[in-house]
Structure 1
Amino acid sequence: MTISGQPVLRAAIVTLQGRREDNQDFAAIAEPPLRDAAARGFVAAVADGIGGARGGRVAAEVSVRGFMEAYYGLPETLGMEQLLDRCLGSVNRWVHAMGRVDPELAHMGTTFSGLIFRGRRAYLAHVGDSRIYRLRGDDPELLTLDHTLSGPGLDHVLYRAVGLDPGLRIDYSVYPLEPHDRFLLCSDGLHGSLEQEQIKAILQERATPETTAEALALRAFEQGSQDNITALVVDVIALPPAERQTLRLAIETLPLLELPKTGEMMDGYRMERLLSSGRYSALFLAADTLSQGKPVVVKFPHPRVASEREYYDAFVREAWIGARVKSPWVGEVLEQPPGRQTRLYSVMPFYPGVTLEYALVQRPRIDLEAGIDLALKLCKAVHALHRQQIVHRDIKPDNVLLEPGGGLKLLDLGIARLPAWDEDQADPVPGTPSYMAPEMFQGERGSIATDVFALGVTLYRMFAGGAYPYGEVEPFSRPRFSVPKPLTAHRPDLPAWLDAVLTRAIAADPAQRPADAVELAYELEAGLEKGGGRRSPRRRLPLYERNPLQFWKAVAALLLTLLTVAGLRLSLPSCRPAGAALHLKKTLESR
């Protein structure tokens, strides 16, 4: 299913009569009419009829078909929650009325579980004990609540369903979509016969929707399901990019407030502890209480530090980039469901690990192979941005997270430069001075070449144990870019080819730098594979370089010993052995 401006989906339905005389389940997937294709999205729904044989089937099919027709027929100007309520409400009234006037349809009703895939979100409407599951990564989650009575032998008795009463209260929720999300809509003939672990295992196999739906239905039948069995599987293949103006309108309605306190609850996030507090923002480790306490990082702007316009622009940038760049090497920004967020902040997954800057302080020496491995991953992260014409503008060790398993994440996209993004040319050029290319001090606002320069400085510092090639640049100063200090002056154990590659990356003239991060990565890989014979000869480091303190202690002890010996010699009386004097006398007489 492919429609411009909507998610790309692949879906399949399998329904079995099972051990019943007829099949009262009904499921369908609908595409919008061509006139509404760009705005309406796709609808998927499952219904499980109750009542007499004919009545249950009629109720299920009428509910699904009627809901879809109403959704595509009502005006788009209605809010989504109001739209879903009208669609299912009208169906409920018809089913309830027909069940009261037609003897063949007496007491008919049905469950209903539906999803609307529109834009970058899924809108859920549910009543009864059919279910909707979502598999994200390897973690399945049940998104619906069964509306059945509790107690022994009562778990099959519905207290809420389409057609039971003239009025209907539906469960409504919204979920941001991600590529590779998988949804399962199913009747109780399936989930009532399979354990949760069995459903999870089959969904995790990531077979095609057709194969997965068939496997689920057949497994439920084999395990003795006495009911009809229906499985509808939807895979999200790709998402449309978020529109900049839509993001800006949504973000600019959020107030900029004081920082929260540790332990405070906000929009379902419980602030656990402060991770860091910089000049412009503060990061809190938080628990998402609406997702089983899942750890996340919430980023708040510092009030009164920069103009509100700059802050809102930064958060719009991060949201816009998060909607477009999906890379294992770039930190993700989590999209929030409509209505949840009440103030300005952004939410990211919690990535365990330390920044590259922290690692440089703790263990400043990195060997060649491990350093090249990190360098290649960082080049991939930068290329993932450049491929979308996004310039990071603040690549530095503080914004590189090293994960325990060897992974890497490039963070902080708040000052990135975006294609066709209007900037106030009067604003100062953003960035950290020590990583800014010379042309940025002349007014260049950021390019692939300036990112390559910052990447080169970052890699130089990683290998040099924290030293800067041109020295550390103070804010508001205008540095002079002469000849950078050779990397081998800090690390004589590293090969000369690495020094040459990094010297080219940090060249003052942008024309002399690698064309992009891919070219830099190629030079590093080629050097590692072919440059072994050009390495500087390895030598054992002298004590002065290995342990300066121990060296000077040894020198002081030696000097003290020499002074003591010299003092003893000066204090002894001058004398000569008698034998020596007699020998001298005879020698003189013989002459």
Structure 2
Amino acid sequence: MSLLFTVGESSVTGPRPRNEDYVAVVTPAASQLAIKGALMLVADGVSGGAGGAEAAEMTARTISADYYATPDTWTIQHALDKVVQAANLWVLSQARKHSRMAGMATTLSMLVLRGQRYVLAHVGDTRIYRLREQCLEQLTTDHVWDRPDMRHVLKRAVGLDDQLNVDYAEGLLQRDDVYAIVSDGVWAALGNAGIHKALMLYHSPQMIAEYLTAQALEKGSQDNASAVVISIEHIGEDHLTDMLADAHSLPLPAKLTVGSQIDGFTVTRIIHDARLNILYQVRNSTGQLFVLKTLQPARADDKDSCEALLNEEWLAKRVVSQCVPQVLPLTREQRSALYYVMTWHEGATLQQRLDAGHYFTCNGVANIGQDLLRGLSMLHRLNIVHRDIKPANIHIGSDNRLRILDLGVALNATLPMPEQMENPGTPSFMAPELFDGKVADRQADIYAAGVTLYHLLTRKYPYGEIEPFQSPRFGEPIRPSRYRPEIPGWLENIILKAIARKPADRFETAEEMLLALEHGELKPIVIPRTPLIARARLVKWQWLAIILLCTNLLLIYLLLVS
């Protein structure tokens, strides 16, 4: 069941000449609610500051619109931070551009509700309260100076500084929780006791919001008074694929053969038949070719595998780029079985080219590296870690475009990934830290990209081939120029930096590695040589010292007895 809640809002001008508060409530449709959640906020223009009302309104409007335009693959906090920082820069630019707006700024308190959780973002002295089981709790901290004569002066607000530090927090929702976002014109007049009383007084959030603002003015508030009140009626499922509940009920298709038909698609070829997945080349009624991906029929009762396929489809749909195959937007009604369909591209994977005996030149590998890093940087900007970069998952089409294949084990914070093997991926392309149990990150993808380029040039692996379930030990990588002396030094150094044992010694981002490949020999990078003591690992030197000590003692003994 989806998250259910009711909202009430009220904003009154009071004795001020105009209302510098701004209230925004966005409750999207059910599908968007499951992904992005509902957003509520109160912004309070800085009192006495020129343009305070404009700062509050434009900040609230910008955030309310831009938050829902951020990629679905971003976490709520990451998306909020991006739009809040952009709003802060906009307010600053307006203040610098128009002298009459100098000093414009606004406080901001936001609450996003999704599934079973809430995420709050806060800067300034507006407040967010929660009433749970009749106990009131203030969830935010006022950003004001801790001096009696300066408690009305803000330390932080949107539009005060180039670098805005925003407080973020999250927690679990409970049924019958009541949340209140109020401006200082409300909480300063009523105090916590007055707010507690108001939240307990009515069941209707709208009545509570109106009561809060009315009571604030009655108690003598000299400021604008604004309140948003949210009552949680039923918490949702904290699982993204619950919005695809209908798809869960779809059966897996029986094993198809060439000529078989399913939902208007005709199978023309079996591309890949593995232990878990099957990929078919299919043709639609207009003759266009696609790739249909599904699970082996034996996996029909494997809930985790079915869920992983749904998650993979959801993720792939949100990667709109020439660097990956695009997923066909099929609705539940257009499918009679559990599968998804993506675009077909003539060509071959890099592994297929290697198997066919293709010889990769140094310039060719450098160009492949640039295209691969462009694709990786695009995935990383969407907070997607591929986790299985290797020649078999990199496709070069007949249009000479490189496409990254298979998001089956990709990691994204938005998706609740089902249980998988401890280190999904191909061992020889996996970063050393993954064998110690660390979760894959962007650095692991950069490492795999470096090993891929190394393998294309040499058909070898820098640390030797690693078999499944092996616990490898990583020493110094073999330089690719040992196998191919013609490899230029600048390209070798880029590869060696990408495959460094320690993540800190690798490129920080895919974009940094891409720039290094684009600059090439014009701006070659330098790989510092590892000191001998580090290459030998300290333990070896300790043993050497012991042997030398024993030798010296033996020599002293022989000298004494002679």
Q: TM-score normalized by structure 1?
A: 0.47
- Between structure 1 and structure 2, the one with the greater Rg is 1
Q: TM-score normalized by structure 2?
A: 0.49
